[in-house]
Structure 1
């Protein structure tokens, strides 16, 4: 066999071997890619994203799109060739598998956590939007969860409204821990609570649970596993009493990152005028009851999704600005925001044709 032919055959066999190895060798990585975007002012799967009952609403033009990231499934095992392809691609991001699915958390637990974060983000979006337009949204501290085999198990129940601890009125969840940890392990704490079913009925009627339905529950504290703090084994949460019904429908989405865009969508449909002036604005960011915007994951994929959908402006949490600016697609203006008010101010500049006044993201 001529040397040239032998060399060519050897190289071909080596390449085939490397390709086969690349397909067979699995690596501990997953992939993130741009996901779908949804206009919070519009419809999704045939239903309005925002439904209001009990308050006048206004038609809103333009787009206020929330953005998502698509991730590989928990059972997906990436091979070496796919990882290399992802590393070289501009519209995909290869990340350690444990980043998406931590080893000590099951897939069901990840899904449940995402659903809980999404639900909490909807509540905070409603509160921030309503308070922005002048409503007062009362809150009440509740038992969010009872830990298994804890002193509180069977004594307190998820949804119970906590009115007082040791006779001290409770106005926010952090105060529950303050009162409990003031004790030594083995001491008794007295919770004044309204049972969950009674508290829920009051909430559905637009009211808060009252002293008339309260009862005292005595619980003996124990020491926390990590130190000697006194604990009873509950997680305190909060429920809000809204002045009218607001329903946010968006299936197959989890996590807290749509909070800002939900708030903006609500402000837009509950007030006259168009926040966007007809422009296509997308964005991301968590939001709390006070309207503070927080950072999210996967921003480099979300800005690609936004631009592909047609957005020309992207509202970006300040902590994500540097990463977003380094990966900014052509034609997309990245606007830095820290609060709901920042976002509203930016939208005023956009619809007022004052793009030069916008606070823009810059690379680190």
Structure 2
């Protein structure tokens, strides 16, 4: 019987040759290589896609710095009229922190990874910077009011330090919707006492709220009538929040104007106060030294802790400062993170800050000055 056309007959020699030759010699290695490259490409594509997925973090970085003895685009940062002032020199530089990312424009994981590699950046949860129940607009408004309070308290602290009389008042600038104070306190209420303590400024109000567990008693004046109300604060971490924006209102014996556009928050208070003291006293407080610092301040001169201390120390070095004033409350974050070339002093009051600046200016022994964790060089 003849073989079908196109098919060679199967002979013994052909069978031996077929068995001697490897079966499917190239197909399996090529297939494995192809699968490997496809898997690698898929993993790369997945990683690339994940890298651009929005992250639940924001990043704090060193922000712009401003010399309280100098000028901004709006003119002199501090202007004093109606009293004699004196020339200054050197720098008393306030510091800011810039925040990258917000709920409306979240950072990608690539952005977060880059920040992780930079010692001057800090990565924090989105909810810590922007509480879910507070809009970005409300957060910015709170920062604006805090800056106004900070400036007013700084002026009061500086003038009281120099012996000038200052009359004080505190009013409710706003009430947060849905907060414990809603329906209890109203905008423009004048706050007289909190838990029995005289409400001298915003600082004193916060201290009084924090000192008492349970309901907080407010003695207020509303439309000229005295009234006592109670608010049960919302506890978040170590904070007791009633949900109001209190605002300082002081009467000063002469005009002090602070111009710092587009910066919010309370942390520049101490440096504002130092700049005012320097302008009101003969001689240059710094003797030409470049200082930077940060800290909230009360009208009575108490210095409080702030956020972003690490970023602010790096910002100080970038701006050329050699000496730094840090709130004693922030010492735990300062130790181990001081950039090279910066000497850091811990302060609790405006008096502490002035003492440190004057000691360095006079080349005095600084070994007795408070520091964070270790003694500074003399």
TM-score (norm 2): 0.73
Partner of 2:73: 45
Partner of 1:287: 297
Report the CA distance between 1:339 and its aligned residue: 0.4
Report the CA distance between 1:140 and its aligned residue: 3.5
Match 2:124 to one of 95, 114, 139: 95
Partner of 2:109: 80
The 2-side partners of 1:20 and 1:146 are apart by: 45
Classify the secondary structure of the residue corresponding to 1:109.
helix
Match 2:164 to one of 117, 122, 135: 135
Q: Deviations along 1:28-83, whole A, 9 cap, x unmatched?
A: 00111000110000001151000111111111100000000000243221222222
The 2-side partners of 1:44 and 1:103 are apart by: 34
Structure 1: gaps of 5 or more residues: 165-169, 179-188, 196-214, 228-232
Match 2:138 to one of 109, 117, 123: 109
Match 1:332 to one of 315, 337, 342: 342
Partner of 2:354: 344
Partner of 2:14: none
**Preserved contact between residue 52 and residue 110 of structure 2 (Cα < 8 Å):** no
**Preserved contact between residue 190 and residue 216 of structure 1 (Cα < 8 Å):** no
The 2-side partners of 1:303 and 1:171 are apart by: 33
The 2-side partners of 1:336 and 1:83 are apart by: 31
State how many pairs are aligned. 316
The 1-side partners of 2:360 and 2:321 are apart by: 13
Classify the secondary structure of the residue corresponding to 1:316.
strand
The 2-side partners of 1:278 and 1:297 are apart by: 28
Partner of 2:262: 252
Partner of 2:55: 27
Cα distance change of structure 1 residues 171 and 304 upon mapping to structure 2, 3 Å threshold: closer
Cα distance change of structure 1 residues 257 and 190 upon mapping to structure 2, 3 Å threshold: closer
TM-score (norm 1): 0.76
**Preserved contact between residue 159 and residue 166 of structure 2 (Cα < 8 Å):** yes
**Preserved contact between residue 63 and residue 281 of structure 1 (Cα < 8 Å):** yes
CA RMSD of aligned residues (A): 3.4
Q: Deviations along 1:172-197, whole A, 9 cap, x unmatched?
A: 5889xx9xxxxxxxxxx99877x6xx
Q: Which has the larger displacement, 236-245 or 256-265?
A: 236-245
Partner of 2:332: 322
Match 2:64 to one of 36, 44, 49: 36
Q: Deviations along 1:283-317, whole A, 9 cap, x unmatched?
A: 00000011000000000000000000000011000
Q: Which has the larger displacement, 71-80 or 88-97?
A: 71-80
The 2-side partners of 1:39 and 1:304 are apart by: 16
Partner of 1:266: 276
Report the CA distance between 1:348 and its aligned residue: 1.2
**Preserved contact between residue 190 and residue 220 of structure 2 (Cα < 8 Å):** no
Partner of 1:301: 311
The 2-side partners of 1:81 and 1:163 are apart by: 51
Cα distance change of structure 1 residues 224 and 361 upon mapping to structure 2, 3 Å threshold: closer
Residue 66 (structure 1) aligned with residue 89 (structure 2):
no
Report the CA distance between 1:87 and its aligned residue: 1.6
The 2-side partners of 1:99 and 1:163 are apart by: 32
Report the CA distance between 1:356 and its aligned residue: 3.6
Partner of 1:359: 370
Structure 2: gaps of 5 or more residues: 1-25, 209-217, 235-242
**Preserved contact between residue 325 and residue 334 of structure 1 (Cα < 8 Å):** no
Cα distance change of structure 1 residues 67 and 141 upon mapping to structure 2, 3 Å threshold: closer
**Structure with max Cα Rg:** 2
Q: Deviations along 1:125-167, whole A, 9 cap, x unmatched?
A: 00110011111212235455578884776xxx62x76789xxx
